[in-house]
Amino acid sequence: MQILFRADGNSTIGLGHLVRTLALAEMLHPFYTCSWAIQEPSEAISQQIKQSGCTLIKLPATTDYVAEAKYLTETYAHQFSAVILDGYLFTTDYQQILRPFFKIICIDDLHTGHFVANTVINPAGGISPDNYSKEAYTKIYAGPEYALLRPPFLEAATAIRTLPAISRVFMNMGGADPENFTAQVLENLAQLPGEIKIEVVVGSAYRHRSSLAKWADRNTNVTIHQQLSAAQMCQLMQACSLAILPPSTVAYEWCSVGGPLYFIQTAENQENLKNFLLQEQLALPFDELNNLLPETRLSATYFAEQLHKQRQFFDGQSPARLCQVVDQLFYRDLLHLRRTNSGDLQLLFHWINDPVVRRFSLNPETVPLTTHTTWFRYKLTDKNCFIFIAEIRQVPVGMIRFDIHQRETIISYLVDENYRGKGLGTLLLQEGILKFKIEAHQVSSISGLVQKENIASIKAFTKAGFTINPEGDKDYPNVLKFTLLN
């Protein structure tokens, strides 16, 4: 399946949208064919996009985004299954034009306007679906567990980290920094007591390189780095003991590396992330640096405390979560059903003793391994029993079982705990029934028994076309019986 990314970046609007969406492209590249549409990219940005594994599509500069959306549908509707948008100009109108032709994912940090996309990803903490104006079908995934981080920072999140022997400050005010906060911060740092070694990072779109170089010539404690790769940037962060950054993606990158962080808000869209960093004590305002810097330079304890707090939120596992978010749009295409075999004994044993599965089972007692083994071996030889394992990318995600009786077939299913709440139950029922009918040939009515408290299964059976059987089940009168008639 092919995905089209749409995000811009330059010296005027900055590189924030570009950097975080490039991180997502790298995460998805092993599983999807990715392309990137961008208005008039610089050569440096073009190379970054290509290095992420994306095919580059250069768009002409325009402010008529409605016309652009129409162009994308007319030109690429046959090629791409989904579009991932990151930018404030991709409004409701833009999304509505794309909606009939593509699945849509929006990367967002402002929650303004109305969203008609299938999915919205907001890496800022403290955000809930209630913050959004959206369609009923639009799903919101928010928080640092969905952090859009590049591979070196994901690896750093699980690496051992201690206070560097040489005290250095990492500083970056964004890839473009059009208002030149870099110069302002350096002037403030020059007023602090003592000489602080400062590592300043600027991006390819930074337009004040000449004046910054002159400043560095007069201040030998300042080293300038430009257009670093993700690996180089991460390595430099690891060599520094604290950072001064805007509350943006680069702050999340620092939190993944770990250490004291001081922030300066440079844009309105950083408000939510700033509030999250403050609330969780992951960072402090730059104004407090003057009081705390002498302590943090010397205190391994304070360094370790901040590192511990940051590691609670940045575990390096966001790619798995984000890939699952994208995969949900294509579950019907990705889902594969196979007949169970003897090698599935432990897998099913683990599943059936899941606390949630047991709570909603007709018999809630824990199943001993010996009992399960006897049952499983019998079912493998029972010609009237069909058990299918559901897999996505060869990872088991659920099970569906059909027991054929004289007058009807009884169905039961379960979904792995990591895949619940994503609409997979309905799809498993639909696809499982199709598979069963092919293999079992003649089938009468199919019924499933559901506890009245099992709201998720009630919804799944209803969406799959089942209706409540008013006669119920004579053996289990206190449960709901759902029936699907041929």
pLDDT band at residue 214 under the 50/70/90 scheme: confident
Of the given ranges (26-30, 380-384, 441-445), which has the lowest mean pLDDT? 441-445
pLDDT value at 298 more than 70? no
Find out whether 340 and 388 touch, Cβ atoms under 8 Å: yes
CATH topology of domain 327-484: Aminopeptidase (3.40.630)
- pLDDT at res. 347: 98
Catalytic residue among 17, 29, 336, 372: 17
Residues of each domain in the chain carrying CATH 3.40.630.30 = 327-484
What 3-state class would DSSP assign to 51? helix
| Residue 408 marked as a ligand binder | no
Higher pLDDT, 148 or 15: 148
- Chain mean pLDDT for the chain: 92
The one-letter code for the residue type at 189 is L
Task: Compute, in degrees rounded to 10, the torsion defined by CA atoms 287, 288, 294, 297.
Answer: -90
- pLDDT at res. 295: 46
- pLDDT at res. 193: 67
Alpha-carbon distance 300 to 381, whole Å? 63
pLDDT band at residue 36 under the 50/70/90 scheme: very high
Per-residue tokens: 319 = 């790619």
Of all residues in the chain, what percent carry a pLDDT higher than 90?
Answer: 79
- Write down the CATH number for the domain with range 2-146: 3.40.50.11190
Per-residue tokens: 394 = 């060869």
pLDDT value at 360 more than 80? yes
The verdict on whether 17 is a catalytic residue reads: yes
Structure letter (DSSP) for residue 228: -
84: which strand partners? Answer: 5, 105
- pLDDT at res. 192: 74
- With CA atoms as reference, report the closest residue to 222 among 266, 182, 176, 263: 182
- With CA atoms as reference, report the closest residue to 42 among 18, 20, 64: 18
Looking at 3.40.50.2000, 3.40.50.620, 1.10.3720.10, 3.40.190.10, the CATH number of the domain 151-311 comes to: 3.40.50.2000
Higher pLDDT, 195 or 449: 449
Alpha-carbon distance 46 to 36, whole Å? 10
Residues of each domain in the chain carrying CATH 3.40.50.2000 = 151-311
Chain centre to alpha carbon of residue 308: 22
pLDDT band at residue 219 under the 50/70/90 scheme: confident
Per-residue tokens: 117 = 């996309």
Q: Could you tell me which residues come within 8 angstroms of residue 246 by beta carbon, excluding any fewer than 6 positions away? A: 173, 174, 181, 263, 264, 265, 266, 267, 270
- pLDDT at res. 217: 87
- pLDDT at res. 312: 96
Alpha-carbon distance 33 to 139, whole Å? 23
- Summarize the chain as % helix, strand, coil (round to 5): 40, 25, 35
Q: Could you tell me which residues come within 8 angstroms of residue 6 by beta carbon, excluding any fewer than 6 positions away? A: 36, 37, 38, 72, 83, 84, 85, 86, 87, 90
pLDDT band at residue 318 under the 50/70/90 scheme: very high
Find out whether 446 and 483 touch, Cβ atoms under 8 Å: yes
483: which strand partners? Answer: 447, 467
User: Of all helices (H) and strands (E), which one includes residue 271?
Assistant: helix 271-279
Higher pLDDT, 419 or 13: 419
Alpha-carbon distance 307 to 172, whole Å? 19
- With CA atoms as reference, report the closest residue to 427 among 482, 464, 458, 383: 464
| Residue 195 marked as a ligand binder | no
Model's pTM, two decimal places? Answer: 0.82
Structure letter (DSSP) for residue 240: -
Alpha-carbon distance 372 to 182, whole Å? 65
Residue for token pair 């870099």: 182
pLDDT value at 296 more than 50? no
Instruction: Give 2-67 as a 3 state SS string.
Output: EEEEEECCECCCECHHHHHHHHHHHHHCCCCEEEEEEECCCHHHHHHHHHCCCEEEEECCCCCHHH
Residues of each domain in the chain carrying CATH 3.40.50.11190 = 2-146
Alpha-carbon distance 10 to 206, whole Å? 9
- pLDDT at res. 292: 57
Q: Could you tell me which residues come within 8 angstroms of residue 249 by beta carbon, excluding any fewer than 6 positions away? A: 16, 19, 20, 23, 123, 148, 149
pLDDT band at residue 68 under the 50/70/90 scheme: very high
